[in-house]
Structures are given as C-alpha cells and as structure tokens.
Chain A
Amino acid sequence: MKFVDEYRDPRLARKLVSYIRRRSSRPWPIMEICGGQTHTLIRYGIDELLEGAVELIHGPGCPVCVTPLEKIDRALAIASHENVIFTTFGDMMRVPGSQGDLLSAKARGADVRMVYSPLDALNLARAHPEKEVVFFAVGFETTAPANAMAVWMAAQEGISNFSVLVSHVLVPPAIRALMDDPETEIRGFIAPGHVCTVMGYVEYEALAREYNVPFVVAGFEPLDLLQGIAMLVDLLEEGRAEVQNQYTRSVCREGNRHARRLMERVFEVTDMTWRGIGTIPASGLKLRPEFEAYDAEKRFAVTDLSTQESPVCIAGAILQGKKKPPDCPVFARECTPENPLGAPMVSSEGACAAYYAFRRFKEARA
C-alpha cells in the first residue's frame, strides 16, 4: 500500500537500526512529542531495538490526555442539558472526568453522539434547528483548522444553534515548559509530523537556538521514525542544535498557510491548563471575541464544578516523560482500557494504552 509498505521494509529498518547503534556514542535521551509516534515506537519495538543507543522519552502529545479535567466535567454538565446534542470524536467518550465519562452520560440518557468531523456536528445543527448542538473541540494544532472551519462556516451561514467547547493546546509552549524544568534530561526532540504539516517548523528553529537542542520533524511509520532518530543522533553527535525535516512528503518549513490563516482568524492564544501538568502560559487557543457567540462555555453557564483526580494515577509524570506506564502501581491492574483511571489509558494516542496493547505481557513476565 502506497506510503505504508515501503515505510515498513524490515531490511531497511535493520540497516537504520545498525547505523544508529554504530553512530551513537551514548544513550541519548530524546523525546518524541506525539502520541501517534509513541504508539509506533512501542508497537514495533523500536525503543527496544535501540536500547543503549537512545533512550526514548514519551512526550505530552496526546490531546485527549492533556484535556483538563475541568473541561471534561464541563462537557458532562453541558451534555446533560435537555435540549443539547453533544458531539465529540470517539476517543473523548471514555476519558474519565470527576464523575464518570461521556459514554456513561449517554447511558444515563444524555444525547451524546460520536462524529468524525466538526462539520458533521454542523450538519446536525442544520438538521435540528430546535436543538443546541455542541462540539467538543479538543486537540493540538492538527485539529484546529477543522474546528476553525466549522465555526467560520457557522458564522457565514448564520447558524445560531451551534457552538464549540474549546480545549486546544499548542506544542511549542509545552516544549518550553519541559526544557525550563531544571531536572530535564532531554537532549533532542522528534517533532510532531502532523502538527508541523499545519504549522511548519519555524517556531522549532527558535526553540533549537534558545535551548541548544536539535529537532527532527518525523512521520509516523517505523522507517519514518528510525530515519528521524538517525538524523537526530547525527545532529547530537555533531553538537548541532538545528531543525531538520524527515517528513518531507507532508511538511514544509512554513506549513499550510491557508490553515494557519484560518486558525488565526477564529482563534487567539491563551494560557491553558494541561491535565496532569498544570498551567502553561500562552499554550492554548480560545475563540476570538468576534466568534464568542459560538463559545459553549459562554452559552451554557456551568457553575459548582468540583474536580477530583484519581489519587493513584501518575498520568502527569508520564506526560512529562518523568515516568513510563509500567512504573505506575495500578498499570494493567486496577487501570485498564475497560476501567481507565487516567486519560492516557483511554486514548488511541495515550502512552499507557500503547504499553497496555503491546507490552503488558512482557512487563508482567519481567
């Protein structure tokens, strides 16, 4: 299959593994930002193949995982309104809030629907003018253009029964927060390919200069990541704090300027709380004042939210790369995909879900 088979060629993979092992003079601690990349690394055992040459640290790039608990509780409260159709991508349905998740709210009678696009939610609003249709607009820069497009189209068409509950986060401020931590051991980054498809990598050049660390923008297939790691090890061994682009079939330096322009028209930067991490300045997006009419937080007054995290879940430390899922005392025991205590066990991009799917028997034997 085009762009899949040729990026999973075992012969080329062995060559790249051999090259990285020869080239690396020490186990370089490098972070892959994106949860999609984490899943590929764990699924194909790339971290184990490279043991001793690089130490792969899993980053906070799982949008579902970092959506603040307060926002999930707010979603549950809005979804419980009698006249509301609450729409979301599938992986938000089972993320635990303080008092259950959206799937359990649906079981209790709330009209919660899974959609594949915010434009599907907009279609629901067109079809049900007597209802309020809310879309849970969650994600990094990759998902922002679609959400911006939905709000923009609603405004153009004057659709008044559509709104979005926004919880958008941005990657570069999170990298800054990680590198400002005096305990950080990260020496290089695999930058997120799809985020950079939208945003380009100019911002990462500034980060590379500021923190003297190299970045390689990489894709999501095994050979993408192996080639990206090989490029990163080259940069680390040569002491070059630069940005290079492995994912050239999708990413250019400036990104998608039309998508960025649309995002800038609809959203503005704001401080954001990251679940398990805390508040990071200028790390999120909110609707600009001219689109406030589409802000579900303003449309539905929700008060008396009292959030409560699981006392045993260590998702925060996992999202910051300080711990790995098997370090958690409840991993694959009390916390499973069927009974998640934290968001990283639910999401298709969560590190705990990756270890559960591809490593739990091995970890249990160990």
Chain B
Amino acid sequence: MVRQDEHVVEGVVLEVREEESHRVGVVSVRGARVRVWLDLIENVAPGDRILFHGRIGLALLERKRKAEP
C-alpha cells in the first residue's frame, strides 16, 4: 500500500490536453487513471511524475527519464 499523506497523491502523467483554457492531464495512480488539472505546474509532459491534491497538480517530482542512447 502506498502510504503518503493520504490526501496528497503522486502519479505519472499519461497525457496532457487543453480543455477550455485549462491544461488537464490523465494521471496514472497505481494503475487507476485520474483527471488532474495541471495549470499550477509548469511544462508538465507525459511521463513526468507529479504530486497532486484534490485533482490539482501541486509539484513536478521528476521529469520523464530520457531513453538510453
């Protein structure tokens, strides 16, 4: 079981799209897919790991790692 502060969750961004002037992402959390508003984090891209609360992204934890050459 993932046990962080239960109200604040981390996940991996699967896709990012524009919805009515908001950036909204689909985020994978332990296999579940959650819609998260990404307006408060800069330059989030698929593959990035983020922290969110109440479907609002709060922090970019880790950028997607580049593939080995």
Contact = CB atoms under 8 A, between A and B. Distances in A.
Interface string A157-201: 000000000000000000000000000000000000110011000
B14 interface: no
A220 interface: yes
A325 interface: no
B61 A250 contact: yes
Q: Which of B37, B39, B53, B55 has most chain A Cβ within 10 Å?
A: B53
B19 to A, nearest CB: 11
Contact of B54 (A118, A250, A251): A118
A146 B6 contact: no
A221 B1 CA distance: 12
A44 B1 CA distance: 14
A142 B57 CA distance: 11
B62 to A, nearest CB: 7
Nearest to A61: B5
Interface stretch (A52-60, A71-79, A232-240, A254-262): A254-262
A312 interface: no
B40 A143 contact: no
A116 B55 contact: yes
Interface residues of A, number: 38
A145 interface: yes
B36 to A, nearest CB: 9
Contacts of A43: 3
B58 A142 contact: yes
A198 B58 contact: yes
A146 B56 contact: yes
Interface in B23-56: 37, 39-42, 49, 51, 53-56
Contact of B6 (A117, A145, A198, A348): A348
Nearest to B5: A36
A34 B3 CA distance: 14
A149 interface: yes
17 contacts: A3-B10, A4-B2, A116-B55, A119-B54, A142-B5, A142-B58, A143-B53, A146-B54, A193-B5, A194-B53, A249-B61, A250-B59, A258-B40, A258-B41, A259-B40, A348-B6, A349-B5
Interface of B: 2-8, 10, 37, 39-42, 49, 51, 53-56, 58-59, 61-62
Interface of A: 1-4, 34, 36, 39-40, 43, 89, 116-120, 139, 142-143, 145-147, 149, 193-194, 197-198, 219-221, 249-251, 256, 258-259, 262, 348-349
